[in-house]
């Protein structure tokens, strides 16, 4: 039963990821990105990592996408600017995509992409979250702080852009 849900979530994630890059409207693209990130969170739940699923939803869907939408709305990126294509990119992209699909189909057909189902109880899941928290705030504290500063700089930069546009209008 889990495998059916995996294929459903994975299919929706791939389709929404394709829609992110194919849709002309940047707001619609951000909404498809939200759908893709929610599917990734659902896959985390299937992997029995509810903490990572919650972090995925709160941090990426809740904060980062809101920041993306805020920047898109403030900069007023129109369809004509957002949908520009680079000429000649299909010559490289099409063979890479076909090769990826062939390799993925071969792996699925041979049964090498099947993840073993584990039996996890509450104590193992609680320990998993504890270990993740200890690693995040000890070994990986520097990257964690760098990301937080980067998000703060992005927020301040978007506020500066808004204030600069208001000053030019008055």
State pLDDT tens for residues 26-63: 888 888 999 999 999 999 988 888 888 888 898 888 88
**SS3 state of residue 87:** coil
Percent of the chain with pLDDT over 70: 79
Mean pLDDT score of the chain: 80
Domains defined for the chain, CATH in brackets:
2-78+120-169 (1.20.120.1200)
Task: Write out the H or E segment, with its range, that includes residue 150.
Answer: helix 141-169
């Amino acid at each position: 039963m889990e495998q059916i849900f995996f294929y459903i979530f994975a299919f929706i994630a791939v389709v929404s990821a394709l829609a992110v890059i194919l849709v002309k409207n940047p707001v619609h693209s951000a909404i498809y990105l939200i759908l893709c990130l929610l599917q990734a969170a659902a896959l985390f739940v299937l992997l029995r990592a509810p903490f990572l699923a919650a972090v995925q939803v709160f941090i990426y869907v809740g904060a980062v996408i809101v920041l993306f939408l805020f920047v898109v709305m403030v900069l007023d990126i129109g369809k004509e600017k957002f949908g520009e294509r680079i000429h000649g990119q299909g010559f490289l992209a099409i063979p890479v995509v076909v090769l990826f699909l062939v390799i993925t189909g071969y792996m699925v057909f041979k049964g090498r992409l099947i993840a073993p189902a584990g039996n996890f109880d509450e104590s193992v899941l609680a320990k998993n979250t504890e270990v993740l928290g200890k690693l995040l705030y000890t070994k990986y504290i520097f990257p964690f702080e760098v990301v937080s500063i980067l998000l703060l700089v992005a927020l301040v930069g978007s506020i500066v852009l808004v204030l600069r546009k208001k000053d030019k209008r008055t």
